[in-house]
Chains A and B, each alone.
Chain A
Amino acid sequence: MIEIQQLSKKYKGAENFSVSNLDLSIVEGEIFGLLGPNGAGKTTLISMLCSLIKPTSGHFSINDLNYKEHKNQLKKLIGIVPQEYALYDSLTAYENLMYFGAMYGLKGSILKEKITNALTRLGLGDFAHKKIDTFSGGMKRRVNLIASILHEPKVLFLDEPTVGVDVQSKNVIIQHLQELNKKGTTIVYTSHHLNEAEHFCTNVAIIDHGKIMIEGKPKDLIENQPKANNLEDVFIALTGKGLRDHA
C-alpha cells in the first residue's frame, strides 16, 4: 500500500537530516504506528507522505501511485488529521465539514448525510450547529477527524490525534478509527501514548534520529526485547532515557 524507499529530509539550515534514508513498507489494512521521541522525524515523515513538504531525496508511492507524478490523485486517496485543530473557529462544525467535504468534490444530500452520520457517531450530533470556538479540545479533535474522513480515504494519516483530550473523547476517537480500519482504511498514526499504540496498532515502527530503529507487531517487539513488559520498555531500551528537548 505505502512503499517508502531511501526517503530523506533535511530542512534548510539544519545540521542533521530529520528523516534519513528511510525504507518502510506499510501493508493495506494495517493500523501502523509511528512512535518516537520528540524530534525523531515522525511528523516530517507524515508531512512528506501527505505532500506537505518536499523530500530532499528518495521516493514513495501510495497504492502504486508515485508522489511526483500523481500528486492530485494521491490527495483524493489520502486523508490527514493534523496535530493542530485545522478548523475555522467562527464557523459551526457543520459549516466546517460542508466546506472541507466540498473541497473533496462532495456535495448535496450525500455530503449532508455523511456529515450528520459522522457527527452522530462521534457524539457531536447535538453540537452540529455550534461554533467551533465554543467546543472543548476533545470535541475539536473529533470534528478535526471527521473533516479528514468524509471522502472515505484509502489511507488516513493521523498526527497525534488523541493529544490533549480526555479519556472519553480518546476512546470514541480510537473506536471510530478501528471501525474505519475494519471497512478497509489503512491507518498511519503517530503518538506519544505508547500504551494506546500497543493496543490500537497492528504494526509499529520506532523511529529516532530520522531512522527506523525497529519495526514489527507490538507483541513481537515486546517479546523480543529482554526485560520488556510493554511497548514503553521497548521504546526506552531503544531510544534511551535522556531528554529530547530541541528548538
Chain B
Amino acid sequence: MHKLWASTYKEFLLLTRDIGGIAILFIMPLVLIVTITLIQDSTFKTIVESKIPILLVDNDKGAISETIFNGLQESNSFEVILKEKEVIAKELVFKGDYQLAIVIPENLSSDLNKKVTQNVEGILAEFGLEDESTETPKKVEIAKKEVNLYFDPATQLTFRSSVKNGIDKMISKIETQSIYKAFQEQISDDEAGVVFDTDSFISFKEIMPKSEGDKELIPNSVQHNVPAWTLFAIFFIIVPLSINIVKEKSQGTFVRLRTNPVSYATVLGGKTLVYLMVCIIQFVLMLLIGVYLFPWLGLPVLDISGRIGLLFIVTIFSGLAAIGLGLLLGTVAKTQEQSAPFGATFVVILAAMGGVWVPVFVMPKMMQVLSNFSPMNWGLNAYYDVFLRNSSFIEIVPEITTLFLFFIATTVISIIYNEKKNAV
C-alpha cells in the first residue's frame, strides 16, 4: 500500500510539474466543448430561426400551388421566391445560388380535381348512388403529373428527403380534401354544409422522460454535446498517459524500477489513480462550463439536477476504460513517436465508431456492429442514459460493467506483456 501511495504521489508531482501538460489536459477539452457546442447550436439555430431561400415556379396557378406556397411560407423554414420559368430556376439552383427549386406543373389543381371527381363518381356508380338526372360522364384519361424538384448538388441528403416529405405531405392533404369535397358535392345538395370534417384526426405528441421532480427532460444541443465531448476529452488522456510510460522507459527510471522489489501493477496503479483524478477534474470543469458558461454564451443550460451522482459513476468507469487503454499503449509502444500519433488517431477512430460525431443508428450496418466494440460507445450510452433517458443506477450497470471489464482486460494485458517482454 505504501508503494502504491508513493507511486501515486510521484505521478502527481510529475504531472503538476508539467504546467504545459496540465494546460493541455484541462484547457483544451474545455475549448473543444465550447467550440463544438457553439457551432452545433448555431447550426441548429440557422435551420430553425433563419429562412432558407428557395425558388417556386408556379405553372399551375391553382389551389395546389397556393397551398404549397402557403405551406412553405408558414413553415418558417423557407423564404419562397417566385420565378416565371423553370429553365431560369433550374440554372440558379445548379449554379449553387439556391438550394432548391420547386416546379409545379400546369393544370395540376384542375387535373387533380378532375381525377378525384372521376374516381368518386366511379365509386358511387359502383354503389348505385349515381345522380339519375345526369348522364354518367365518359371516363377521360388524365395524364399523371410530376412536381419537379431541383436540388443544388451540394445539398445534403437529409435536407432533400425532409423537403420531399414535406411537399408530399402537403399534396396528400390536398388530395384528401379534394376527395372529401368531391364526395360532398355528389351526395349533398347543400354545397356550403359540412358533411366531412377534413381536419387531421391523428396528430403527434412528443413525450419525453420525466425527472424526479416530474419535470420533462427536453434534450438540447448542450445535453447532447457535453457527454459526447466530455467522453472524447477523457479518452484523450491515453496520449499523455502513454507518453508518460514511454518516457519512463526511455529515461532509464523504468530500468531502475525493474530492479526494485515493486510490481508493475503497483507502478501502473499509481498512474491509474492520478489520471483518474484528472478525468474527474476534467468532467467537473465540463459540467461547470455547461451549467455556468453556456447560458452566459447564449447556449442552453446543462441540466444536471438529480443526476450528479450517476454522472460521476459513469465518469469514473469511462475514465478507467480510457486509462486502461493508455496503460496498454504506453506499455507496448517503444517511442513517443509511436504512442502519441497512434493514441490521438485511435481516440478519433473510437469516437467516430462510438457515435460521438454521427449517431450509431444512422451508420451502415457493419459500423453499427463495430460500434459495439468501442468503449466510447459504452460510455456515451451510459451518459445518455443518465442525461437524456433518466435511467437509474441499475439501468447503467451493464455499460459501467463493460467499461470496468475493459479496464481490467487492458491492464492485465499490459502487465502480462511487460512480464513476458522482461521475463528473467
User: Which A positions have Cβ atoms within 8 angstroms of B?
Assistant: 48, 50-55, 67, 71-72, 75-76, 78-80, 82, 84-91, 95, 98-100, 102-105, 107, 131, 147-148
Contact = CB atoms under 8 A, between A and B. Distances in A.
B297 interface: no
Given A91-B13, A99-B10, A71 B2 contact: no
A39 B64 CA distance: 92
A148 B424 CA distance: 20
Nearest to B262: A103
Interface in B253-273: 253, 255-262
Contact of B260 (A55, A67, A75, A131): A75
B260 A100 contact: yes
A185 to B, nearest CB: 16
Contact of B259 (A52, A67, A95, A98): A52
B423 interface: yes
Interface residues of B, number: 25
Contact of A80 (B10, B251, B256, B261): B256
A103 B424 contact: no
Contact of B2 (A54, A107, A147): A107
A105 B266 CA distance: 13
A78 B260 CA distance: 9
Interface in B1-35: 2-3, 5-7, 9-10, 13-14, 17-18
B10 A78 contact: no
Given A86-B253, A91-B10, A91-B13, A78 B259 contact: yes
A53 B252 contact: no
B256 A100 contact: yes
16 contacts: A50-B259, A52-B255, A54-B423, A76-B261, A79-B259, A86-B253, A86-B256, A88-B251, A90-B14, A95-B13, A99-B10, A103-B6, A103-B260, A105-B3, A131-B17, A147-B256
Contact of B6 (A51, A102, A147): A102
A68 to B, nearest CB: 8
Contacts of B422: 52
B2 A102 contact: yes
Interface of B: 2-3, 5-7, 9-10, 13-14, 17-18, 251-253, 255-262, 422-424
B11 to A, nearest CB: 10
B6 A98 contact: yes
A72 B261 contact: yes
Contacts of B10: 88, 91, 95, 99
B14 A88 contact: yes
A51 B259 contact: yes
A148 B5 CA distance: 20
B8 to A, nearest CB: 11
A103 B257 contact: yes
A85 B5 CA distance: 24
Given A52-B259, A53-B424, A75-B259, A86 B17 contact: no
Contacts of B259: 50-52, 75, 78-80
Contacts of B14: 88, 90-91
Given A50-B259, A53-B424, 13 more contacts: A52-B258, A71-B424, A76-B261, A84-B255, A85-B252, A87-B251, A99-B6, A100-B256, A102-B5, A105-B2, A105-B3, A105-B261, A131-B17
A11 to B, nearest CB: 14
A99 B248 CA distance: 14
A87 B424 CA distance: 23
Max count, chain A CB within 10 A of own CB: residue among B7, B255, B256, B424: B256
Contacts of B13: 90-91, 95
B91 to A, nearest CB: 66
A89 B6 contact: no
Contacts of A148: 256
B253 A87 contact: yes
A40 to B, nearest CB: 20
Nearest to B17: A90
A91 B17 contact: yes
B129 to A, nearest CB: 95
Nearest to A131: B17
Contacts of A53: 424
A159 B335 CA distance: 24
Given A90-B18, A147-B256, A67 B251 contact: no
Given A71-B424, A90-B17, A103 B253 contact: no
Nearest to A91: B13
A48 B18 CA distance: 35
B45 to A, nearest CB: 46
